[in-house]
Amino acid sequence: MEIKICGPGCASCEQAQKVVEAAVDAKGVDAELSKITDFAEMAKLGIFSTPAVVINGEVKCVGRVPQQAEVEEWFA
């Protein structure tokens, strides 16, 4: 599973990354996490607000920090 956390590194972006990492750990998911900070790269994904979470190329969350339970549901 490929998970991308998109954002410039603001507090909300850091929080989104922590939530996703906690969900990955809780579910034991085999995932490769990466961080995208380049706005041009985010725009290519159709993301114009941060933080955002992309799983396997699908944008799951934009402009807010997701809840851990919500992220865990995305893995199902």
Clarify whether 6 is annotated catalytic.
Answer: no
d(CA 61, CA 76): 16
Catalytic residue among 1, 10, 33, 43: 10
Catalytic residue among 6, 13, 31, 52: 13
d(CA 35, CA 23): 16
Clarify whether 61 is annotated catalytic.
Answer: no
Active site residues: 10, 13
